[in-house]
Copies of this chain bind each other. A is one copy, B any other.
Amino acid sequence: MSTARGARARARIEVTAAIKDEARRQLAAEGAAKLSLRAVARELGMVSSALYRYFPSRDDLLTALIIDAYDSLGEAAEFAHAEVAAAGPRERWVTVCTAARRWALGHPHEYALIYGSPVPGYVAPQETVPAASRVGLLLIGIVRDAHRGRGLARTPLPAGLKTEAGRMAAELAPDLPAEVVVALVASWAQLYGLIGFELFGQFNKVVEDREPFFRHAAGRLAHDVGLVYPEPGETAGGPHSA
């Protein structure tokens, strides 16, 4: 069979998983900087050199953890989105953003691993890309649905950005207006600014009651990408002349 060509192959899968699990444990407990191969091996009752048969270096272990973290975040967001799939685009948007925030608060060190500063001269390998784009794809899908439905509000682009905006749209979502794609990418980045500031303590003594603050900010991001229709009971989030 291909799934179990031998006891050896199965054992390898199990040991690999055990290493990742223990590494994730240490990552969650102490952070990426204190993640030690030797400590992982020790905890698993093996000698440290044996671990190198499974992960050729510490960075490779970290890469595996990064992919898993992206997948875990993506899964959490997709699960939350599925529960409100029938709702309006704006509520779906805020739900996905809130799910990302909740995941980050629950897995701070894993979040720091993927969206914080990259570890020592580390460059994300290509294989992280698909896992990394899951949340982004979710957001694009929501905006696309709104575009095909009631339509989107648009913000005109400055002249100097038009060609780049066209390129971005062609790459990410050719069916969406370029202005919307630009706003989408910016909102996507800004979302992680909000989450990161909360997580890394920048909001200490600044924002105390963070859940409603975040929901409001996420709603305004939705507004920025053109989702201007308020849900029943919500405020629109658009600026009114004072």
Residues of A near any B CB (own CB < 8 A): 30-34, 112-113, 115-121, 123-124, 151-158, 160-161, 163-164, 167-168, 171-172, 182-183, 185-186, 188-194, 196-198, 200-203, 205-209, 212-213, 215-217, 219-220, 223-224, 226, 228, 234-242
A224 to B157, CA, bound (A): 16
Closest Cβ–Cβ distance, residue A27 to chain B (whole Å): 12
Please, could you name 12 A-B residue pairs with CB atoms under 8 Å apart, sorted by A?
Answer: A117-B200, A153-B241, A154-B239, A155-B235, A155-B240, A158-B235, A164-B208, A167-B208, A171-B205, A192-B197, A224-B239, A226-B239
Q: In the complex, A115→B242 CA distance in Å?
A: 34
Write out the residue numbers on chain B whose beta carbons fall within 8 Å of the beta carbon of A193: 189-194, 196
Which B residues touch A208, using CB under 8 A? 164, 167
When distances are taken between beta carbons in the complex, the residues of chain B under 8 Å from A117 are 32, 112-113, 116-117, 200
- The interface residues of chain B lying within 8 Å CB-to-CB of A241 are 153
Asked if B119 contacts A33 (CB within 8 A), the reply is yes
> Hey, which chain B residues are within 8 Å of A200, CB to CB?
115-118
Please state the number of chain copies in the assembly. 2
Q: How far is the CB of A12 from chain B (nearest CB, A)?
A: 30
The answer to whether B201 and A190 touch across the interface, beta carbons within 8 angstroms, is no
Do residues A239 and B34 form an inter-chain contact, with CB atoms below 8 A?
Answer: no
Contacts of A123 in B (CB 8 A): 201
The docked-state distance in angstroms from the alpha carbon of A190 to that of B185 is 12
Cβ A224 vs Cβ B235 within 8 A: no
Q: Which residues of B contact A171 (CB under 8 A)?
A: 205-206
Could you say which of B112, B207, B238 contacts A164, with CB atoms under 8 Å apart? B207
Contact between B34 and A120, CB atoms less than 8 A apart: yes
A201 & B242 in contact (Cβ 8 Å cutoff): no
A242 in contact with B118 (CB, 8 Å)? no
Interface centre among A155, A156, A160, A171 (most CB of B within 10 A): A155
Residues on B with beta carbons closer than 8 Å to the beta carbon of A185: 203, 206-207, 213
Chain B residues near A223: list those with CB within 8 A. Answer: 239
A224 CB contacts on chain B under 8 angstroms: 220, 224, 239
Decide if B157 touches A216 in the complex (CB within 8 Å): yes
Roughly how many angstroms separate A220 CA and B155 CA in the complex, as a whole number?
9
Contact A183 B220 (CB under 8 A): yes
* Among candidates B163, B202, B240, residue contacting A189 with C-beta atoms closer than 8 Å: B202
